[in-house]
């Protein structure tokens, strides 16, 4: 399959692994953060970390949109959903995210009308079919999904659908990366930049990372060879004394971004003064809200919300995992009290969550990863998977 097979070629993967090892300076350790949860799943699904030299350490970042939603926002959404005149709609990976008062699935079991959708346009379809009900779309995601929310609001306005609104929880990747860079908890040598977000915002917004912080960043795709190539490019920059933003994912990501998508976001949405992120706390200008012009489609203005901040369970260490301070298997409840069936934190729920990736692909300890991991992309079997 084009754009898949050539990025899972076993021979090329072995060659890249050898080049990566040759680029490592003896006695030097390199720590790179893969910002996107999709990259984390590629790394552990294909066993990439097992084929990197011990000098290269990959840590996880805050690029999982479900994982960074604070519990209080989940409770606000459930508060809306419990109204008898409301139909709440949501992407599937939000259904099991725990809030302080339970999850969407818990509220649905208790009688709330909460429906899973694959697109905000599905929510709009439900609004058309139920003119006597108020339909709310639980909007989550980075700049990747924000344009589809914005376009849906524009469609609702064009159709005159007054029973549709959006509970907007869209967040922005650049302020989160800056918060990581400003954190004293973690020393990084570079970043594997998110591919999906960059398809919308482009590569230019990352230039401050190289210019102001002296850290290289390589925007990468999601196949095994994409990740290995990104690691090799980062090591090459460091070896040559360079510090730049590179676009490894040029087959999808335009350097200037998607101007039409950015225009729709700018028309419908505005920056929030601040927003709470799970694990990172409040970050200024890091999230989007519905603009005043489209206030009638803003669920935060249509409904009265409790707006109560809810602390994470004391046993949950999702915050440290999202900042790359801990590996999931270092959390004291990982794989015991916290599993995909009984999640305590969001990182075990989402399809992009680091804890879910580790659990699903059998990464329960560093030693196990090095000795008993499943075949990686350097085998012919995995290259055909």
- Is the pLDDT at 381 greater than 60? The verdict is no
Residue with tokens 């990172």: 280
- Is the pLDDT at 341 greater than 90? The verdict is no
Q: How far apart are the first and last CA of the chain?
A: 11
DSSP state of 6: G
Residue 31 makes CB contacts below 8 A (sequence gap 6+) with 57, 58, 59, 186, 187, 188, 189
- Is the pLDDT at 227 greater than 80? The verdict is yes
- Does 52 or 5 have the greater pLDDT score? 52
- Is the pLDDT at 232 greater than 70? The verdict is yes
> What is the percent of the chain where pLDDT is above 90?
72
- Is the pLDDT at 144 greater than 90? The verdict is yes
Which residue, among 143, 185, 183, 193, has the nearest Cα to 33 in the 3D structure? Answer: 193
- Cα separation, 64 vs 141, in Å, equals 8
Any alpha helices (H) in 222-314, and if so which ranges?
224-239, 259-268, 299-302
pLDDT for the residue 380: 45
Task: Show me where the domains of the chain are located.
Answer: 66-172+257-302
pLDDT bracket for residue 366 (50, 70, 90): low
pLDDT bracket for residue 250 (50, 70, 90): very high
In this structure, of 35-49, 141-155, 223-237, 306-320, the range with the lowest mean pLDDT score is: 306-320
Contact (Cβ atoms closer than 8 angstroms) between residue 36 and residue 59: no
Residue 93 makes CB contacts below 8 A (sequence gap 6+) with 66, 349, 350, 351, 352
- Cα separation, 69 vs 171, in Å, equals 9
pLDDT in tens, 171-204: 999 999 999 999 887 789 999 999 999 999 999 9
At 321, which helix (H) or strand (E)? helix 318-322
pLDDT for the residue 385: 42
CA angle (364, 369, 374) in 5-degree steps:
105
Give me 117's structure tokens.
Answer: 């959708």
Angle at which helices 146-159 and 120-129 cross, to 10°: 20
Return phi, psi of residue 289, to 5°.
-130, 165
- Is the pLDDT at 94 greater than 50? The verdict is yes
**For residue 279, what are the CA distances in angstroms to 13, 127, 272?**
35, 35, 19
pLDDT bracket for residue 344 (50, 70, 90): confident
Residue 118 makes CB contacts below 8 A (sequence gap 6+) with 91, 92
pLDDT for the residue 196: 95
At 162, which helix (H) or strand (E)? none
pLDDT in tens, 254-305: 999 999 999 999 999 999 999 999 878 899 999 999 999 999 999 999 999 9
pLDDT in tens, 304-338: 999 888 888 888 888 889 888 888 989 999 999 99
- Cα separation, 232 vs 218, in Å, equals 10
Task: Please compute the mean of the pLDDT values over residues 343-368 and round it to a whole number.
Answer: 80
* CATH architecture under which domain 66-172+257-302 falls: 3-Layer(aba) Sandwich (3.40)
Return phi, psi of residue 327, to 5°.
-80, 150
> What is the percent of the chain where pLDDT is above 70?
94
Contact (Cβ atoms closer than 8 angstroms) between residue 4 and residue 216: no
In this structure, of 209-213, 217-221, 373-377, the range with the lowest mean pLDDT score is: 373-377
pLDDT for the residue 65: 86
pLDDT in tens, 78-88: 999 999 999 99
pLDDT in tens, 107-141: 999 999 999 999 999 999 999 999 999 999 999 99
Helix (H, G, I), strand (E, B) or coil at 27: coil
CA angle (235, 236, 242) in 5-degree steps:
105
Task: Please compute the mean of the pLDDT values over residues 48-77 and round it to a whole number.
Answer: 92
What mean pLDDT is reported for the chain?
Answer: 91
Which residue, among 170, 176, 171, has the nearest Cα to 152 in the 3D structure? Answer: 170
Contact (Cβ atoms closer than 8 angstroms) between residue 348 and residue 338: yes
Contact (Cβ atoms closer than 8 angstroms) between residue 87 and residue 134: yes
Task: Please compute the mean of the pLDDT values over residues 14-40 and round it to a whole number.
Answer: 94
Residue with tokens 């302020």: 175
- Cα separation, 285 vs 275, in Å, equals 7
Give me 266's structure tokens.
Answer: 């700018």
- Does 175 or 10 have the greater pLDDT score? 175
- Is the pLDDT at 368 greater than 80? The verdict is no
- Cα separation, 269 vs 29, in Å, equals 42
Contact (Cβ atoms closer than 8 angstroms) between residue 275 and residue 170: no
Residue with tokens 């969407």: 104
């Amino acid at each position: 399959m084009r754009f898949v097979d050539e990025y899972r070629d076993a021979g090329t993967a072995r060659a890249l692994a050898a080049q990566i090892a040759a680029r490592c300076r003896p006695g030097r350790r390199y720590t790179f953060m893969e910002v996107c949860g999709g990259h984390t799943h590629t790394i552990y699904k294909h066993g990439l970390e097992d084929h990197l030299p011990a000098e290269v350490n990959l840590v996880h970042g805050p690029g999982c949109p479900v994982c960074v939603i604070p519990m209080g926002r989940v409770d606000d959404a459930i508060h809306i959903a419990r109204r008898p005149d409301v139909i709440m709609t949501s992407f599937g990976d939000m259904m099991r995210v725990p809030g302080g008062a339970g999850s969407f699935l818990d509220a649905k079991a208790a009688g709330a009308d909460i429906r899973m959708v694959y697109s905000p346009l599905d929510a709009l379809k439900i609004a058309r079919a139920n003119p006597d009900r108020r339909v709310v779309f639980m909007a989550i995601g980075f700049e990747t999904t924000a344009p589809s929310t914005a376009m849906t609001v524009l469609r609702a306005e064009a159709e005159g659908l007054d029973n549709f609104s959006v509970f907007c929880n869209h967040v922005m990747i650049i302020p989160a990366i800056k918060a990581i860079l400003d954190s004293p908890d973690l020393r990084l040598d570079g970043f594997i930049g998110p591919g999906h977000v960059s398809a919308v915002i482009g590569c230019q917004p990352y230039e401050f990372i190289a210019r102001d912080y002296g850290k290289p960043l390589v925007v990468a795709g999601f196949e095994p060879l994409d990740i290995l190539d990104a690691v090799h490019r980062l090591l090459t920059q460091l070896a040559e004394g360079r510090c730049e933003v590179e676009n490894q994912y040029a087959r999808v990501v335009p350097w200037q971004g998607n101007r039409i998508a950015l225009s729709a976001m700018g028309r419908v949405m505005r920056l929030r003064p601040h927003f709470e992120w799970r694990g990172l706390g409040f970050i200024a200008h890091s999230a989007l809200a519905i603009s005043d012009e489209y206030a009638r489609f803003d669920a935060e203005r249509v409904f009265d919300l409790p707006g109560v901040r809810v602390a994470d369970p004391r046993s949950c260490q999702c915050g440290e995992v999202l900042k790359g301070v801990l590996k999931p298997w270092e959390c004291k409840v990982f794989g015991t009290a916290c599993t995909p069936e009984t999640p305590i934190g969001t990182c075990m729920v989402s399809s992009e969550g680091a804890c879910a990736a580790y659990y699903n692909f059998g990464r329960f300890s560093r030693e196990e990863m090095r000795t008993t991991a499943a075949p990686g992309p350097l085998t012919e079997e995995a290259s055909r998977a």
